[in-house]
Structure 1
């Protein structure tokens, strides 16, 4: 009886904690469905549903959402294209100075983003990459590639060398063995690295603020920030509707890829 009461108590505490953590998400959706007005005066439940906030959000922020999606997908593709062979080389080959290189990769993750952003601004100004999608992709990749290398290498260390040697015996070269054997076997790690890269890029604000100075290229994070600033105390319904729309890709990807992420992280941890 005591055990059952304790279990009920733990469940109640867990539900309460989850409710507190999810309340901001509920309030965001609730405000986005209100006809108009400020967030403070919003009723607890959306009794009078209105989608004018979403219409305004799509009208004002639709291009910014597309820009964020293009930058995020481009960063994922570029980062994996660079990180996967680099991680394979560090995991399977005897590279002189590999330990120093891995330490440098780890240290690069500790550099404050504002330092990188300021350095890139100076370089981009000379190269003409300001206010450009390729410029944002390269900037986001500076953080994504080292992280992807660490994730991929941890998984690739678990691939038996005999599998690759068997492919070489059958006549496959290093590139053929990598593309036909290693990459398919690394699906879980690839999905994990891709998902975290996408989420980082999708939520990036610092590079967007520093490396874009016009409205030609504007990710949704910066668009949402300027959306609020442009109206002082705005009608919060379009603002929250934009936040909801910006959350959908991340939620969908997490739901779809969760089993791959769990397998990829677990494989690297076990190794």
Structure 2
């Protein structure tokens, strides 16, 4: 087999340029958040005298929204994985007749536009009293997270050697014990990957958060930013500080879980 040739200097330079272009909005967001109150278009390329007043304002005005987003995102992760793990295990190890239509139905569920689901949920939530509630947002965000988690976890679980599961069954382990003690430990990378992507879906959700909330009692940070733009168009440092704070949890989780994500996605691709 031929060895893959090392990238040349032009390829490296092109990669650096593309990376700089993609990261420039992030840099400007951080730069603008450290500027004094005023028009950020007049700000320099580097904050010579950093002003953290915008962060104090952002935490005062949007701190509750950030907490709401954290609760809803982690709640969606827990609910989505609780539903997706047994479903994926059943589809991977005990495939009933008609597995293909079931998987096709899961793909269709992912392809349904969010606005259609939001409209349907609004009518149901209004009758059930779930509007303006944490549980309502968790359920809504899980409608997008569960199908994705099922597909990813099923691909990972199908890659587990059948001999390992049969050995556990010979030792007297039931199906639930096999799932808990054998399958889940071997699917850690896929679980972390699925959980992280569900978290990102819920964290960045705007449509459900805007449609299923009629008050500010349960307001995620995405809606808070949207409302903040209209009310503080001259207070850009606070607005950008809010955006920076909203980016921190997702960025930290991505950095901490990058090794598991690479292994989880690769394992799913081998199915």
Q: 1:112 is matched with which residue?
A: 113
- C-alpha deviation, 1:134, in angstroms: 0.3
Q: Aligned residue for 1:203?
A: 204
1:38-77 aligned at under 5 Å gives the runs 38-77=39-78
> Any idea what SS the aligned residue of 1:45 has?
coil
| Separation of aligned partners in 2, 1:149 and 1:112 | 19
Could you give the per-residue CA deviations for residues 134-192 of structure 1, whole angstroms, max 9, x where no partner exists? 00000000010000000000111101122111111111111111111111111000001
Post-superposition CA distance 1:106-152 (Å, at most 9, x none): 01111100000000000000000000000000000001000000000
| Residue 166 of structure 2: aligned partner | 165
Per-residue CA distance 1:193-226 (angstroms, 9 max, x = gap): 0010001100000000000110100000000100
Distance in 2 between residues matched to 1:109 and 1:130, nearest whole Å: 23
Task: Tell me the CA shift for residue 230 of structure 1.
Answer: 1.8
Asked whether the equivalents of residues 155 and 268 of structure 1 are also in contact (C-alpha less than 8 Å), the reply is yes
- Comparing 116-125 with 32-41, greater Cα deviation is found at 32-41
**Distance in 2 separating the partners of 1:171 and 1:9:** 60
* Structure 2 unaligned residues grouped into runs of 5+: 1-6
Task: Please state how far the C-alpha of 1:268 moved relative to its aligned partner.
Answer: 1.1
Structure-2 separation of matches of 1:22 and 1:85: 39
Q: State the superposition RMSD in angstroms.
A: 1.0
Note if contact 1:30-1:46 (Cα within 8 Å) is conserved in structure 2: yes
SS of residue in 1 equivalent to 2:173: coil
SS of the aligned residue for 1:109 comes to helix
Following superposition, the deviation at residue 39 of structure 1 comes to 2.0
Name the structure 2 match of 1:152: 153
Q: Is the CA contact 1:191–1:257 (under 8 Å) kept in the aligned structure 2?
A: yes
Provide the rounded CA distance (Å) in 2 between the counterparts of 1:81 and 1:39. 45
**TM-score, normalized by length of structure 2?**
0.96
Partner of 2:268: 268
Match of residue 19 from structure 2 = 18
Partner in structure 1 of residue 234 of structure 2: 234
What do residues 17-54 of structure 1 show as CA deviations (whole Å, max 9, x unaligned)? Answer: 11111110000000000111122111111011110000
Aligned equivalent of 2:255: 255
For the residue of structure 2 that corresponds to 1:246, the secondary structure is: helix
Equivalent position SS for 2:245? helix
For residues 222 and 164 of structure 1, the distance between their equivalents in structure 2, rounded to whole angstroms, comes to 46
Secondary structure at the residue paired with 2:45? coil
What is the SS of the residue equivalent to 1:137? helix
Query: Which structure 2 residues correspond to residues 127-142 of structure 1 after superposition, within 5 A?
Result: 127-142=128-143
How many residues are treated as equivalent by the alignment? 265
Report the Cα offset of residue 237 of structure 1: 0.3
C-alpha distance in 2 between matches for 1:98 and 1:9: 48
Quote the offset at 1:13 in angstroms.
2.0
Matched with 1:3 is none
Give the C-alpha shift of residue 16 in structure 1: 1.4
Aligned 8 A contact 1:228 1:234 in 2: no
Q: Which runs of 5+ in 1 are unaligned?
A: 1-5
